[in-house]
Amino acid sequence: MPSTPRSPSADLSLPPVGFGTAALRGEHGVRTVAAALDAGYRLLDSAFNYENEGAVGAAVRASGVPRDEVIVTSKLPGRHHAHDAAVATIEESVYRTGLDHLDLYLIHWPNPSQDRYVEAWGALIEARERGLVRHIGVSNFLPEHVDRLVAETGVTPVVNQVELHPYFPQAEQRAADAARGIVTEAWSPLGRANSLLDEPVLTRIAADRGVTVAQVILAWHVGLGVLPLPKATSPDRQRQNLEAADLELSAEEMAAVAGLARPDGRNNDQDPAVYEEY
């Protein structure tokens, strides 16, 4: 079943679809994230650089959902990879949510020219040992970056969150993550609602199935074993995106979606080998 939760470690069970929160800030952000929790989302994806850990935490605290049923994620920005700065930033992330811990904490980008991501990983390991964060992972890490973390610390990330949508399906990255026991999460799973949503291959499958194009795309992610993190503002879109996990595409439909792949399919040319974020 595509909706079976994956368990990268004994005490972390991930839902098939999570909720992206970039740009959801302030009171509007709190209301939107609260609606997502009401709709049934149990994995929320935030970041220090989204400047919305406060809104996400406020929504979680105000919701009637038991705290241990929600996986709250945040990420360490590139400007704070140095050990002491990373420790203070993780502490700040937790304070900003108003929660007593975060469930998943990721290094946002490897920033290879800065070359301090192994040092940052040491700080995440310490934060986990202190109970500030329950699980640790990475985002935008190429296999070579992951392998360095493991070689130098012996600790493997539980997830790797990367850009992944039908224009950019990341076959090699997915295989590399899977070989290391790492769950691949997808950012911009809908391609930021660009021309992807008008692709005839997708509109045809959607019409055949009586579902939306967004649901076809998200069902494709789930069918690949990837955990998509769509962001949606309206309750209707939030609900349809979550329900996509129940849609199982046929092998032919999966292959048809795979035909949309482009070698240069990234939305904004953000290749983690060279692109850096601070």
Task: Give the binding site for ligand A2P (CB under 6 A).
Answer: 20, 188-193, 212, 214, 230-234, 237, 240-241
Q: How far is the CB of 233 from ligand A2P (least distance, A)?
A: 4
Contact 128, 103 (CB under 8 A): no
* DSSP3 helix / strand / coil % (the chain, rounded to 5): 45, 15, 35
Residue indicated by tokens 């224009």? 167
Q: Which of 36/136 has CB closer to ligand A2P?
A: 36
The answer to whether the CB of 105 falls within 8 A of the CB of 127 is yes
Please say which residue, 160 or 240, places its beta carbon nearer to ligand A2P: 240
Which amino acid is located at 34 in the chain? A
Structure tokens at 217: 């795309």
**Smaller CB separation from ligand A2P, 128 or 192:** 192
Give me the torsion for CA of 47, 231, 13, 88, rounded to 10°: 10
Cβ at position 270, least distance to ligand A2P in Å: 13
Residue 176 near residue 168, CB atoms below 8 Å: no
Are 225 and 184 a contacting pair, CB within 8 Å? yes
- Considering the complex, state which of residue 73 and residue 89 has its C-beta at the smaller distance from ligand A2P: 73
The minimum distance between CB 228 and ligand A2P, in angstroms, equals: 8
Least distance to ligand A2P, CB of residue 133, Å: 24
Phi and psi based region of residue 131 (left: phi greater than 0; alpha: psi -120 to 50; beta: remaining): left
User: Catalytic: 50?
Assistant: yes
CA–CA separation, 91 vs 196, rounded Å?
39
- The CB-of-205 to ligand A2P minimum distance in angstroms stands at 15
- Is the CB of 46 or the CB of 212 nearer to ligand A2P? 212
28 touches 5 (CB < 8 A): no
What is residue 61's DSSP assignment?
A: H
The C-alpha atoms of residue 272 and residue 270 are separated, in whole angstroms, by: 6
Smallest gap, in angstroms, from Cβ of residue 56 to ligand A2P? 15
Sheet holding 71-76, edge to edge: 19-20, 43-45, 71-76, 102-107, 133-139, 159-163, 183-187, 227-228
Q: List the catalytic residue out of 50, 105, 117, 167.
A: 50
Between 76 and 219, CB nearer to ligand A2P? 219
Active-site residues, by number, are 50
